[in-house]
């Protein structure tokens, strides 16, 4: 077998003037450098942002981060890691105060892939050549110090190099190897575009085999969807960003997600080294149970003076348990509670109920960590006999409500930030 040596040349481009809003970026680039067919042009996002008038007064930086962020991933002190509207996970939503006029901050381009396509098309029209264009920004990396440049926009370049199904030199079939070609090129180009130089451009030659005739899918093809992200939230945010979700899509919930949540639930502390949590997934018995619970609730409300629209409005709150993709009923079993024959029996029951509450919270948090919404509904607690009779369960099982589960169809509002001082004292 012969050998193949790939020689790649990366050169920085100097002489580009200061970019301002409205500048024809492609024209300025062509005046600053020589481009040839098959080259890859790498552009720092900062000059794209300047040309697209994406600068704003730095006094608004916090508001800018909030407006550019789709969701908070983690926050430590003044540093926020967020998911941007593009789907990128990065510090401060890419809002940056370096290499811009004093008192201003730069936002990322609105659509970096579209920006790359525009530059590529203008160069192709003017010079009659086919090139690849990459727009980059700086990212941190999980579990490693130091920053690297990655692609946030691309056109005319193979963004992924899929080796799955290929055989390596040892004869092993590759099962999961997909290389992020566009990120490799972006990182390499930063070596000639270092932060303290005036070189926002780089030209890479020797990689024409990655240049494509069409624009291609762009960097959006690299963005991992939330449902596939193993590390979607910081450990604090997995707790503080959980919200009650009452409106769901029709997307089904996988058994794997439920098993993850159940496994988390049963780690809750419990009395006497017991395992008192029990869960029932409502399927065939769901409608029959909910109908009986609704009638019992209706009777209770009528006795409390509700009627007409007020009665209907209250009953409508229970529709969530009919409509949610999944409903799980949590219980705590008192089978292992100690019996004293006096007031301590009540304390025993309280201990087990508290343990059950801890398990329910673990369950809800685990669902949230998997990107699944939930709502804890207290209804079964008010009609324990009906629940036990309909489901044929032991008198020892104490209902802990019902949990409606599904993928949220709305973006929940951020939780009001409360001071712990209101709920804490020292004696």
pLDDT digits (tens, 9 = 90+) for 4-34: 568 999 999 988 999 999 999 999 999 999 9
Residues 6+ apart with CB under 8 A from 426: none
pTM: 0.71
Residue 255 is predicted with a pLDDT of 96
Backbone conformation region of residue 86, classed left if phi is above 0, alpha if psi is from -120 to 50, else beta? alpha
157: β partners: 211
Q: Which residues of 79-108 are buried (b: 16+ CB within 10 A; e: fewer)?
A: ebbbbbebebbbbbbbbbeeebeeeebbbb
Burial of 2 (C-beta count, 10 Å sphere; 0-12/13-18/19+): exposed
User: Is-contact 206 213, C-beta < 8 A?
Assistant: no
Spatial distance between the Cα atoms of 351 and 362, rounded to a whole number of angstroms:
17
Residue 196 is predicted with a pLDDT of 62
Instruction: Give the 3-state secondary structure of residue 359.
Output: helix
Taken in order 210, 215, 216, 220, is the CA torsion positive or negative? positive
Q: 107: closest CA among 26, 59, 50, 42? A: 50
Q: 22: closest CA among 48, 53, 1? A: 53
Domains belonging to the chain, first-starting first, are 9-54+109-223 (3.30.1330.100), 244-411 (3.40.109.10)
Residue 197 is predicted with a pLDDT of 67
Query: Which two tokens mark 287?
Result: 């409608």
Residue 62 is predicted with a pLDDT of 78
Instruction: Give the 3-state secondary structure of residue 412.
Output: coil
Ranges of the chain with pLDDT below 50: 1-2
Spatial distance between the Cα atoms of 260 and 119, rounded to a whole number of angstroms:
46
User: Is-contact 9 188, C-beta < 8 A?
Assistant: no
Residue 418 is predicted with a pLDDT of 83
């Amino acid at each position: 077998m012969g050998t193949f040596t790939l020689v790649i040349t990366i050169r920085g481009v100097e002489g580009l003037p200061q970019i301002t809003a409205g500048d024809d970026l492609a024209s300025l680039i062509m005046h600053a450098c020589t481009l040839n067919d098959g080259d890859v042009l790498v552009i720092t996002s900062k000059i794209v942002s300047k040309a697209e008038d994406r600068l704003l007064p730095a006094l608004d930086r916090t508001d800018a981060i909030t407006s550019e962020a789709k969701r908070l991933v983690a926050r430590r002190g003044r540093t926020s890691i967020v998911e941007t509207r593009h789907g990128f996970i990065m510090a401060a939503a890419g809002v940056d105060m370096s290499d811009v006029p004093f008192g201003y901050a730069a936002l990322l381009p609105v659509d970096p892939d579209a920006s790359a396509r525009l530059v590529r098309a203008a160069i192709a029209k003017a010079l009659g050549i086919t090139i690849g264009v990459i727009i980059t920004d700086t990212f941190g990396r999980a579990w490693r110090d130091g920053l690297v440049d990655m692609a946030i926009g691309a056109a005319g370049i193979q963004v992924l190099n899929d080796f799955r199904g290929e055989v390596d030199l040892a004869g092993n079939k590759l099962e999961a190897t997909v290389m992020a070609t566009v990120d490799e090129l972006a990182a390499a180009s930063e070596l000639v575009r270092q932060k303290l130089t005036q070189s926002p451009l780089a030209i890479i030659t020797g990689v024409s085999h990655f240049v494509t005739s069409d624009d291609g899918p762009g960097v959006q093809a690299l963005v991992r969807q939330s449902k596939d992200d193993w590390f979607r939230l910081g450990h604090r945010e997995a707790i503080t960003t959980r919200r009650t979700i009452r409106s769901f899509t029709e997307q089904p919930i996988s058994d794997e997600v439920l098993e993850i949540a159940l496994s988390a639930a049963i780690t809750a502390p419990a009395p006497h080294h017991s395992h008192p949590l029990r869960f029932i997934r409502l399927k065939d018995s769901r409608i029959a149970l909910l109908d009986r619970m609704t009638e019992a609730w209706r009777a209770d409300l009528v006795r409390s003076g509700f009627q007409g629209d007020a009665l209907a409005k209250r009953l409508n709150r229970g529709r969530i348990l009919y409509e949610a993709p999944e409903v799980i009923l949590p219980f705590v079993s008192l089978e292992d509670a100690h019996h004293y024959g006096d007031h301590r029996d009540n304390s025993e029951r309280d201990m087990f109920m508290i343990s059950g509450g801890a398990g329910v919270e673990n369950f809800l948090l685990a669902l949230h960590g998997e990107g699944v919404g939930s709502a804890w509904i207290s209804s079964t607690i008010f009609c324990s006999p009906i629940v036990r009779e309909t489901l044929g369960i032991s008198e020892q099982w104490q209902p802990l409500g019902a949990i409606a589960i599904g993928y949220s169809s709305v973006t929940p509002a951020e939780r009001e930030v409360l001071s712990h001082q209101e709920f804490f004292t020292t004696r």
